[in-house]
Amino acid sequence: MGKKKKRNPSSDGVAKRPCPIIQAGIDEVDYKDIELLKLFITEKGKIIPRRISGLSAKSQKKLTWAIKRARNIALLSFSEGYVPQDEHLDQGTHS
């Protein structure tokens, strides 16, 4: 016979915190909404995990998909959290 899992008495009857994206009334996470996406990226460019951000599983998947798409079309940097478009354009035109 296997061991029975012990229940965590501290989590019984405690309401989970609501998802920040759903609570803000955002229906779809858009890859073009850079200001929203950069809230969930660290300074090193990593996506903040669900247990820290407090997102629901559905919202975290949509957010991850949007961040990856934004990185692929160069709206977000892979290594840095956010690259402003003015700086990005100025770097390529040195005289």
Distance of alpha carbon 69 from alpha carbon 47, whole angstroms: 13
Question: Residue 19 in contact with residue 27, Cβ under 8 Å?
Answer: no
Measured CA distances, 15 to 37, 53, 59, 91 (Å): 27, 17, 19, 49
> Is residue 82 very low, low, confident or very high in pLDDT (cuts 50, 70, 90)?
low
Instruction: Judge residue 66's burial from the number of C-beta atoms within 10 Å of its C-beta, 0-12 exposed, 13-18 middle, 19 or more buried.
Output: buried
Residue pLDDT, tens place only, 62-74: 999 999 999 999 9
Domains in the chain with CATH codes: 18-91 (4.10.640.10)
pLDDT of residue 22: 87
Which residue, 38, 39, 14, 36, is CA-closest to 25? 36
Residue 39 or residue 17, greater confidence: 39
